[in-house]
Structure 1
Amino acid sequence: MNRLLLPSLFLLLLFFTGCQRLILGEDEANDPENNFEIFWKDFDRHYGLFTVRGWDWDSIYAEFRPQVTAQTTDEELFEVYRQMVEYLDDSHTFVYWPGRDFFSGNSEDDERTEAEFSLPLILDQHLEVIDSSSEEGYVYGQLRGRNVGYLYLAGIEMEDLSFGDKLLTDLGQNDALIIDLRNNSGGDDGVGAALAGRFADRTELIYTVQERNGPEHDDFAGKTEYYLRPQGTVQYDKPVIVLTDNITVSAAEVMLIYLNALPQVTQIGTATSGDFSDTGMRRFLPNGMQYQYSIMKFLLPDGTSLDGVGHVPDIEIRNSAADIDAGNDLVLERAFRFLLEEYGIE
């Protein structure tokens, strides 16, 4: 495996290790039609992003309910669930048939995007490693022949929130830093906030979160506010490049809300996944199938939502699998060119 942590693997790990679970319809009839009704109604009453993403869940009922009868097989029913989840296009929302199948909202694009990045290529061709942890999913060091530091994060999982202090002690002398969030499967929003705080010189409201709390699609609890704040023993105010792709997801995207508010940060690559919300409890249907879904919305201070859109890069560029196979990371090379052209940094 040539990546520290794949998004699909992370989702499965999250799914199996989550301690919260809700068994739906323990006393319900285990037949295809009732299983469908429970599934659709549960989403209808609790999924958090219908209004944000503009989805018409009633139309999904009208399309798929006639396809489910008393004779519908489990295979056919799972395929119906898969298409319903696919409609939501939300990687935090997935359906699982134990021992048989698993599907998350945008998983079909993941394999292609995974092939467009290779950490071994960067290690072989560009990086003198200073520190790394396969367990916590990071590696950082000095880019060969350049006054530029490099940090790759496969997830936002560092247990020690002072990680950013050590990073800047080791790399802060550089004229620029590259933070690579490609193929990043997310993790802990608080860790991302602590790391982003090492690049901040002010305190400001950065986003709000609301959890769905009622039967109507627009029923939400009050806003919880999150602030960008300087953190750590030293701040880094020189140019920072953040590299992203379509499976930069979840806590990585939340960290990028903080970073993209800073004037010295430039995002290069492709738009991120656009999936910010935490999930609710794991749900168990009478037929043994399981699922989870997003339960909240993230809003920027002006009320804008990035769900379903993601962070759009300042400079858009994408590798192909053929580029990587040929030993060329065009995204990283574009970052080098930007630093030279804009700042004279080599």
Structure 2
Amino acid sequence: MGIGQRRPVARSVGIAALALAVTAGTIGTAGAAVAAPNRDGDSAAKRPGANRLEGVWRTDGYGSIVEIHGTAFTTYDVTRISCTPGWFSGAQVGTPGRGGVVRYGASGKAYATASVTPRGRDRAVYKEDGAASARNLTRLPGGLPAQCRQPAPQDPLVAFDRFWATFEENYPFFAAKGVDWRANGARARADITPQTTPDQLEGILAGLLRPLADAHVGLGRKQADGRYHGVVAEWRSGTREPDEHEQEQAARAVAAQLVAPERPFGLGRLGVGELPGGIGYLRVSGFDDYVEDGPYQEHAAELDKALDLLLAHPDRLNGLVIDLRLNGGGSDELGLRIASRLTDRPFLAYRKVARNDPADPTRFTAPQPSVVRPAAGATRYTGPVALLTAGSTVSAGETFTQAMAERRPAPVRVGENTQGVFSDLMFKPVSADFVAVLPNEKFLTRDGGTFDGPGIPPDVRTPVFTPEELDQGRDSALTEARRILSAGPPTTDRRTPGPPTADRRPPAAGRWPLTVSR
């Protein structure tokens, strides 16, 4: 997920502990966010001088329809049984750029956070700032389907069906998780009546999600102040999110090994320090929230400040430790931005695909490669690197770890498996009270595998912020990373092994015909 935009939750875990910001459309008032909707289909796009993007589009994957009318940008969430207002609406910022690209910003924001670029009359590309890939759009003949303009029914059974269908048609990991979503859904649905209360419905929906044990799956419930509170998120078995006290203890254990106090950047989300023996230290607690409120470019500029200090004299560095153990995710692009300062040659980071057939969970969009290219006009470091990882390394922290595995020389990973959640998050309102949070993507390795589920394993396994270590002020992972870097480069090249459970089947590209019928 890009940053500096609607950001209800960072592209990360910890959903149950976070409030979701209100920028969603309200289920039950379909079309309310659109000023004077285009009722004549795509004919406006054919008029001389009209906006080339004017009209209605469907996404390749992601279960969405996009309507562009004048300066308004509105999304709708589509399943085979429903069409309801989506999470995001916004407006054009500035005038169209080269090639007809139009920038859009979230409602109430003065800056742009995404772009739509036409590719001929009937195709376009939507790109969120900070995301590692784009979404292909195809013009939808006939304009906005009539069902999308009607108020959505609000009774508990209809809300349940929308929730269930949203996961059934988008979630890619039921087989890998060993979950029979259809059987579980049928049992849960039998417990719902017209008298089912929101509290009871919450319990039923949360009960469906818990067996997935997926930290990128969640349920948000709307509060009296209009914000959403996450009510369920399950970490991989054996892992958990360290609490504030444990994070403070961890910071003291790290500080004990630095030769001078860490210098913070990005509102404390980044830290630059030095370890004995001329080894640099970079803490990355997340790939977002580096500024209070601003576009992606401001977050990137703050990251550059930290990297400029860290790499001010790359020839003097005898090694570099990048600490991702408490990384809550964020923008994949910011991770690639760091990688671009650590190479002198391009390399493939990963290939990204999204599920795009509601009836077939094995069909995905065509892979989109992300390539790391050496940063131009900036100092770069190409020596040995150690990455510190843990179960609390999640999402964008993991895509960065996966990307860096293709760097040469490859970093050594020290610590524990990462959490095992890589996809961007989708936020799908399913009723006036609830929003579903779920992934629909895979980040593929060079040979077509993924680390979704088990996470990326370390090369050297050590304790990470265990109660015993924290009580004694020890940090075995950092100590081991220092030892490895001080010993010199490895004698053999290091490549990331795929876990035995990795899905190594190449994704099938495909496109599903949009239907919005009852």
TM over 0.5: yes
CA distance in 2 between counterparts of 1:172 and 1:89 reads 45
After superposition, the C-alpha distances for 1:184-218 in whole angstroms (9 at most, x for unaligned) are: 01111111101112222322333111223332223
Q: Does 1:326 align with 2:472?
A: yes
Q: Could you say which structure has the higher helix fraction? A: 1
**Of 178, 183, 205, the match for 1:59:** 183
Q: Is the 8 A contact 1:22 1:282 kept in 2?
A: no
Bigger mean CA offset, 263-272 vs 165-174: 165-174
Partner amino acid for 1:333?
T
When normalised by structure 1's length, the TM-score is: 0.84
When normalised by structure 2's length, the TM-score is: 0.58
Partner amino acid for 1:159?
A
Stretches of structure 2 lacking an aligned partner (at least 5 in a row): 1-11, 28-83, 86-149, 224-228, 289-298, 491-518
Bigger mean CA offset, 172-181 vs 96-105: 96-105
Bigger CA radius of gyration: 2
CA distance in 2 between counterparts of 1:83 and 1:173 reads 54
Determine the structure 1 residue equivalent to 2:431: 285
Secondary structure, aligned partner of 1:159? helix
Q: Does 1:12 align with 2:18?
A: yes
Residues 87-106 of structure 1 mapped to structure 2, 5 A cutoff: 87-99=211-223, 102-106=231-235
Partner amino acid for 1:289?
F
Partner amino acid for 1:139?
G
CA distance in 1 between counterparts of 2:421 and 2:315 reads 31
Secondary structure, aligned partner of 1:129? coil
Determine the structure 1 residue equivalent to 2:386: 241
Q: Does 1:220 align with 2:338?
A: no
Residues 49-198 of structure 1 mapped to structure 2, 5 A cutoff: 49-50=173-174, 55-99=179-223, 102-106=231-235, 109-112=239-242, 115=246, 118-129=250-261, 131-135=263-267, 137-143=269-275, 145-157=276-288, 158-160=299-301, 162-163=304-305, 164-169=307-312, 173-198=316-341
Partner amino acid for 2:480?
R
Partner amino acid for 1:258?
A
After superposition, the C-alpha distances for 1:14-40 in whole angstroms (9 at most, x for unaligned) are: x326x4557349745433333222211
Q: Over aligned residue pairs, what C-alpha RMSD do you find?
A: 3.1
- Shift in CA distance, 308/7, structure 1 to aligned 2, threshold 3 Å: closer
CA distance in 2 between counterparts of 1:283 and 1:9 reads 15
CA distance in 2 between counterparts of 1:154 and 1:27 reads 42
Q: Percent same amino acid at aligned positions?
A: 27
Partner amino acid for 2:406?
A
Secondary structure, aligned partner of 1:293? strand
- Shift in CA distance, 192/204, structure 1 to aligned 2, threshold 3 Å: same
CA distance in 1 between counterparts of 2:411 and 2:175 reads 31
Deviation (angstroms), 1:91: 2.1
Number of residue equivalences? 335
- Shift in CA distance, 214/337, structure 1 to aligned 2, threshold 3 Å: same
Deviation (angstroms), 1:323: 1.4
Q: Is the 8 A contact 2:24 2:429 kept in 1?
A: no
Q: Could you say which structure has the higher strand fraction? A: 2
Secondary structure, aligned partner of 1:336? helix
Secondary structure, aligned partner of 1:199? coil
Q: Does 1:268 align with 2:411?
A: no
Deviation (angstroms), 1:326: 1.9
CA distance in 2 between counterparts of 1:112 and 1:165 reads 30
Query: Higher relative contact order by CA 8 Å / sep ≥ 6: 1 or 2?
Result: 1
Stretches of structure 1 lacking an aligned partner (at least 5 in a row): 1-5
Secondary structure, aligned partner of 2:312? helix
CA distance in 1 between counterparts of 2:262 and 2:313 reads 8
Q: Is the 8 A contact 1:270 1:318 kept in 2?
A: yes
Deviation (angstroms), 1:275: 1.0
CA distance in 2 between counterparts of 1:290 and 1:39 reads 8
